[in-house]
Amino acid sequence: MKLSKVSILLIGSALAFSSGAFAADANKGKLRLQDKTIVDGKPLNPGNYTVEWTGAGPTVQVTLLRGKQTVATFSAHVTEQPTPNHDDAYGSAPEPDGSRRLTVIYISGKRTALELAQNEASQQPSMSDSR
């Protein structure tokens, strides 16, 4: 009898930890920048990045990682798309100096879009976004 209680406890613990792992993957994606792009005021080189976000509700905290190194942290607004995104993609807007500023991140296989919050009053909104 005691052995079955211990077994149930171990199985329950394993399920609780595995659901936590699934929840962590739910707020994770990939981003491949094609061009040098400004993110949170920092220029990022083209390449592959990992996107992770935390928070509940429409505003979340996003972390961009290159390998295991955090390269940018910023706030974003989560929006739901009508259909799941087919690919990882992003939108950017031109800056007056000719550089590009990251505006939105689309995560493959999810209906989620992460729209970046404007951090500086000096940033001008753009009329066009490109994917």
The predicted pLDDT at position 2 comes to: 59
The predicted pLDDT at position 15 comes to: 42
Closest alpha carbon to 91 in 29, 37, 27: 37
pLDDT(54) > 80: yes
Helices marked H in the chain: 2-26
Mean pLDDT score, 24-38: 88
pLDDT(119) > 60: no
Tokens of 91: 């939108």
pLDDT(96) > 80: yes
